[in-house]
Amino acid sequence: MSSVDLDKYFKPDLNQARKRSKNTIEELKFDLSDAHYKIGIGKTYMVQTFGCQGNEADGETMAGILELMGFTKGLSEDNVDVIIINTCAIRENAELRIWGTLGRLKAYKKQNPDLILALAGCMAQEENVVERVLKKYHHVDIIFGTHNIHKLPEYIETAMFSKEKVVEVYSQEGDIIENLPKVRNHKFKAWVNIMFGCDEFCTYCIVPYTRGKERSRSKDEIIHEIKELVETGYKEVTLLGQNVNAYGKDFQDQNYTFGDLLRDLDGLGMKRIRFQTSHPHDLDQKTMDAMRDGKSIMPHFHLPVQSGSDSVLKRMNRHYTKESYLKVLADLKKAVPGIAVTTDIIVGFPGETEEDFQDTLRLVEQADYEGAFSFIFSKREGTPAAKYIDDTPEELKKERLYLLNEKINQGYLKGNQRFLNQTVKVLVDGVSKYDSDILAGYTEHNKLVNFKGDSKWIGHIVDVKITAVKTWFMLGEIV
């Protein structure tokens, strides 16, 4: 395909995506036009979501829109009418998996030329991805980004009836769209977006480019959504945002931040409220106080640290030092005694020395984490860190990851051991993957528990006495 063809499409531009406009964000309501109702009747769809909970929530919206258009959920790739690949761009290996999936789907398009194949999510926001898809993955019919999910009905209509390729990705965010339909993947645990975007610009991270500037949903919309969830029997919500602690900082007409929101959500009748993800430098006392007072705010905090070395933290643009991080953590543990804290850590950031890495290991011990996600630095084109000199051998990075994980696992075990012989409250998720007589669920501190019990308990909160603990889970008995 020639470059002229590439130019006719509405493609993303990471340089544009870096800009932060001062435009006020409007709140608009989604409404399906008459032309789009019934387009999908008798047809089926699949949404395949990769990546974070934010993406899962978006995938639920895509499914909601498709069902409103009349589509029903299909069960297998070789027998559906629409497939949406909802992608993740956070690390290279996430992208590699998705390229593999796209390649695999080519055969289904050959079998059924009417199959509509769409690429959505964070990868669609990257210009090099869109160019590669246009040049080499001709079987993809629609490419749309994270800022225009609400326009999905138009894209489906064009692909279906005009048989034209649709490429529409906005580099910058638009307004907040409310009233979006959702098909939730879970019957008693729900995701609720409280804000979109990220303005932190950590130097390794692609998210501020793929998700746009920080913008908060109105408190009334969030409360309305959670009340509805309570009425329909939901027991747990996880409030979502790339940096939930910045919630409300973009409101120009009111002083209402994350701590205020937590206080207002507590008492709505939702049994369990969780949130993610947090940024240490925006975590304030008001939030900690709301957690201390709120009966439904769960005693678990995911507080990504990324590194224990001040010089690495500075080059990551994290806006805190190891000392100031530990101070925030101490305040949190004082406000909410017994709170379980987990984190994210990157090893092998460009220029990370042995001493920097040792600082990270020491921090893991000092912070007493009860769990962590650990990653090897992955170069993301378009981010500042992609240009940093990265001369640490891959083997050494892997060794650091291994050593870090050993330390993290000690924390998991220690975190579980403190509950031995205690009775804890477990929201029963379902039966265990390995044994259908065994139930599995999570405690208030977000620990996985397995125990014998009847499937009638699924979706209920039950008291379980912990009888044994392992690194990754605990065993117990219903009391």
Q: Among ligand SF4, ligand 5AD, none, what binds residue 243 when CB lies within 5 to 8 Å by partner kind?
A: ligand SF4
Q: Name beta bridge partners: 328.
A: none
Q: Among ligand 5AD, ligand SF4, none, what binds residue 378 when CB lies within 5 to 8 Å by partner kind?
A: ligand 5AD
Cβ closest to ligand SF4, residue 280 vs residue 453: 280
Bond before 203 cis per omega within 30 degrees = no
CB count in 10 Å sphere of residue 48: 15
Would you call 106 helix, strand, or coil by DSSP? helix
Q: Is 424 in the site for ligand 5AD (CB under 6 A)?
A: no
Cβ closest to ligand 5AD, residue 150 vs residue 380: 380
Site string for ligand 5AD, 181-220 (x = CB under 6 A): -----------------------xx---------------
Cβ closest to ligand 5AD, residue 122 vs residue 270: 122
CB of residue 211 vs ligand 5AD: minimum separation in angstroms?
12
| Direct distance between the N- and C-terminal alpha carbons of the chain, in angstroms, rounded to an integer | 66
CB of residue 200 vs ligand SF4: minimum separation in angstroms?
4
Residues that bind ligand SF4 (CB under 6 A): 198, 200-202, 205, 207-208, 242-243, 279
- Note whether 88 and 94 are within 8 A (CB): yes
Residues in the chain, how many?
Answer: 479
Residue 182 Ramachandran class (φ > 0 left, ψ -120 to 50 alpha, else beta):
beta
What are the angstrom distances between the C-alpha of 14 and each of 142, 204, 383, 452, 473?
20, 14, 9, 52, 42
Q: Is 304 in the site for ligand 5AD (CB under 6 A)?
A: yes
CB of residue 194 vs ligand 5AD: minimum separation in angstroms?
17
Q: Which helix (H) or strand (E) holds 154?
A: helix 152-157
Q: Among ligand SF4, ligand 5AD, none, what binds residue 90 when CB lies within 5 to 8 Å by partner kind?
A: ligand 5AD
- Note whether 212 and 147 are within 8 A (CB): yes
Positive/negative CA dihedral, 272, 181, 243, 403: positive
Amino acid at 173: E
CB of residue 122 vs ligand SF4: minimum separation in angstroms?
11
Cβ closest to ligand SF4, residue 121 vs residue 208: 208
- Note whether 85 and 48 are within 8 A (CB): yes
CB of residue 391 vs ligand SF4: minimum separation in angstroms?
23
Amino acid at 81: D
Cβ closest to ligand 5AD, residue 201 vs residue 375: 375
Cβ closest to ligand 5AD, residue 145 vs residue 304: 304
Q: Which residues bind ligand 5AD (CB under 6 A)?
A: 90-91, 204-205, 304, 306, 344, 346, 375, 377-378, 380
